[in-house]
Amino acid sequence: TGTWHPTDRNLCVTAGTDSTLRIWDINNKRSQKEVIVFKSKAAGSAGRTRMTAVAWGAPAQGGSNTLVAAALDGTLVMYSGNGPFTRPAAEIRDAHKPDTWTGGVDISSDGRMVVTRGGDGLIKLWDTRKFKQPLVSVEHPSTSDRFAMTNIKYSPNSTAIITGSATGHLHI
């Protein structure tokens, strides 16, 4: 997946199956501006795992932005969105069940909340200030393995969350 930087229209980030997050400057199409290699603690000695989703958010009232990504090994990882990207600011192992595709991640407009939609049948809400356990964990029909790429998004003012389901319905 990929997403735009929350305030700099020239930057975007992609999450890859090569265990990387790549930051791109659209004015330099030949190479990435930054390559973040995620070394998973949960993936064993190889440390490689596919990155399945990424979100880049910034608080509406200003402040530092946040980069959050999900990995196939079930890890949820958070970086300071301004770098440096040498180490994650926080990492949650088993945020979702390992080897299930977390297809959706989004950050609220105030930069405090993260919502994830995992292939393990769960939607979870996380607080970036206490990034260890989910505040809420809900089973939901949108999380079918058959539709693992289904996304989840906050409304612009973060008062609602939207996702789809295997039945074709939208859930708000």
pLDDT for the residue 139:
86
Q: pLDDT tens digits for 27-77?
A: 998 888 999 988 877 655 467 789 999 999 987 666 678 999 999 999 999
pLDDT for the residue 79:
92
How do the pLDDT tens digits run along the chain, 172 residues long? 899 998 899 999 999 989 999 999 999 988 889 999 888 776 554 677 899 999 999 876 666 789 999 999 999 999 987 878 888 899 999 999 998 888 899 999 988 999 999 888 899 999 998 999 999 999 876 555 565 667 899 998 899 999 887 778 888 8
pLDDT for the residue 3:
93
Three-class DSSP labels, 99-164:
CCCCCEEEECCCCCEEEEECCCCEEEEEEHHHECECCEEEECHHHCHHHCCCCEEECCCCCCEEEE
Closest Cα to residue 102, out of 70, 58, 76? Answer: 70
pLDDT for the residue 150:
76
Residues 6+ apart with CB under 8 A from 28: none
